[in-house]
Amino acid sequence: MSSLFSQFPNISTDSILLGRITESDLDALYEIYRNPNVFTYIPGSAKKSKETVLHMIGHFERDFRKKKMIFLGVFRKENPNDLIGTAEIFEYNPKVNKVVIGYRFNESCWGRGAATETVHAMVGYLFDTVGLNRIEAYVMPQNAASQRVLEKNGFIREGLLRQANLWTDKGVVDLIIYSLLRSDAR
């Protein structure tokens, strides 16, 4: 088993690749982050300039080096230079051996299985390669599509956290907590 931050992950399945986001992905990343629909159920708001998104790419690298967060680009295997989404691994707690995951995709990919496949790939990597015990995800109650993605991957709905978090541009929100234990995935 390896440490979560020992090397930057490159994860692949039959149809997708998860890997580093670089400046060459700027146009595709901006296409995702400029769309206000992407931010309906997640913290933050659409980005107004490519320059802002370019700075984010630098922050992705910095956050990995600081062992704070991993931002992965999601690419289709048939077109490995075309970024279609991002996947995040954050809030690593080594004492509990757990992380939180998140994901967002270009709207053109919604409802086509990319999120489900991405979560499946992340789960395999986090349990089998890194050796984690618990993966969590937090979803706004209105986000039925994301709840389906997690449930298809075996995540258990643990409950509703009422007015539990302050999310940028959303205010105080209710969140459903989902989890998957390594023993659940076997």
90: CATH? 3.40.630.30
Query: With a threshold of 0.85, does the pTM exceed it?
Result: yes
Domain assignment present for residue 161? The answer is no
Burial class of 5 by CB neighbour count within 10 A (0 to 12, 13 to 18, 19+): middle
Domain assignment present for residue 143? The answer is no
> Is pLDDT at 132 greater than 60 in this prediction?
yes
Domain assignment present for residue 85? The answer is yes
Half-sphere exposure of 165 (CA within 13 A, CB side): 16
Neighbours of 149 (CB within 10 A): 23
Q: Which residues pair with 173 in a beta bridge?
A: 165
Spatial separation of the C-alpha atoms in residues 96 and 86, rounded to whole Å: 25
pLDDT digits (tens, 9 = 90+) for 82-99: 999 999 999 999 999 999
In order of 70, 130, 172, 176, the CA distances from 162 in angstroms are: 27, 32, 9, 9
The mean pLDDT value of the chain amounts to 95
Domain assignment present for residue 59? The answer is yes
User: How many domains, the chain?
Assistant: 1
Range of the domain at 24: 11-135
pLDDT on residue 3? 86
pLDDT on residue 40? 95
Domain assignment present for residue 64? The answer is yes
Domain assignment present for residue 170? The answer is no
